[in-house]
Structure 1
């Protein structure tokens, strides 16, 4: 399954209409208006079920809100069917299942199940996240500062994603992230700059440029 990372946290760096749409999704999720949430997601293809309020601090997605409020299992199942990630953490590091458990919503635990990481996996993903964030900063430094939430690479493994796309404002392109042979592989480019493509491989120990000049 392919997906994208909605990681930009600066509302002014995004189209105002999209920010307004995200605010609607966040408001409806906060209020537990499940039918309205599903209708928004079904109507707007550019709206991700893994989207949190842009500029917000909790990073609660609709799935986190279902866990907080104790939504019907059918709502959780439908969000997951639409691509919601059970492994995505909020700003406190909690997954939806962690929230449901702490709130006593035991009827959601099976639907929100995601396996726990062992210590070597946690260390690996933390290192990957940092190396990837550093690479994104390095590749975009000529564009000026844009605040973004680092990509949580654990979701690629836990959600069995083929790849994860992170489009970057002003780049007219972005970063395509995947995992091969237990290494993180990143291709990045700008569509308006010929030969801008670069490919990097990230391991726990660092980031290495392996190809450039394509696209």
Structure 2
């Protein structure tokens, strides 16, 4: 599964931005037929929030807000919507449906308990951020090319979504990196992360991230 972690629309092609806004507009208005129509196009993810938006609501969050039908929610889940995906304020679609009183959606939207635990997930998030930062924040590197703070440009994938992903893996392609980060949850409790820059020879690095820290285990490939 691809993690579409871009926040700044200027980093993407115009066609991608146009479809993103069309999806976000349709979901916010509850136009579900149009939502599914857009999702069937290229360059659009069911887990994408509005580029430049403040809430980070995906279509599933919007469905929970509106109290959409069970069939709409089922359609989003079938297309890979992540029930564990948090909005900017940390709410899942289940949290939103419950707060809005949409009881008919609670069973469908309830995130499964994968046993990762909040403390371990937070530790893995911190380790993953340190690995990504280590590659992007080099002097004269990718982060500086964006021309604004990195946190305004990219959203790193939260570890809590990994157990729900196919094979518990994500690919995070980073604009201007000509590569990115392959992130896998291993044995349900640690991360194996490979990263590379295709235009730089021998740029590959592999890290193991546990709740205790980060270890570089391989480099020089790709």
Q: TM-score, normalised by structure 2?
A: 0.90
- Matched residue SS, 1:167: strand
Which of 100, 106, 112 is the matching residue for 2:109? 112
- Give 1:46 deviation, angstroms: 2.2
- Separation in 2, partners of 1:48, 1:19: 12
Partner of residue 177, structure 1: 183
Partner of residue 58, structure 1: 55
- Of 125-134 and 68-77, more deviation after overlay is shown by 125-134
- Matched residue SS, 1:195: coil
- Of 179-188 and 28-37, more deviation after overlay is shown by 179-188
- Separation in 2, partners of 1:117, 1:102: 23
Partner of residue 92, structure 1: 89
Partner of residue 155, structure 2: 149
Does residue 1:165 correspond to 2:163, yes or no? Answer: no
The 8 Å contact of residues 87 and 159 in structure 1, kept in 2 or not, is answered as no
Partner of residue 130, structure 1: 126
- Give 1:12 deviation, angstroms: 1.1
The 8 Å contact of residues 124 and 210 in structure 2, kept in 1 or not, is answered as yes
- Matched residue SS, 2:25: helix
- Give 1:49 deviation, angstroms: 0.3
Gaps of 5+ in 1: none
- Give 1:190 deviation, angstroms: 1.1
- Give 1:117 deviation, angstroms: 7.1
- Separation in 1, partners of 2:121, 2:190: 10
Deviations 1:12-37 (A, max 9, x none): 11112211110110000000000000
Which of 35, 44, 47 is the matching residue for 1:47? 44
Deviations 1:108-159 (A, max 9, x none): 11211213577x7101111111111121111012112542112111111144
Runs of 4+ in 1 over 2 A off after TM superposition: 115-118, 158-162
Gaps of 5+ in 2: none
Which of 116, 126, 136 is the matching residue for 1:140? 136
The 8 Å contact of residues 114 and 163 in structure 2, kept in 1 or not, is answered as no
- Matched residue SS, 2:117: helix
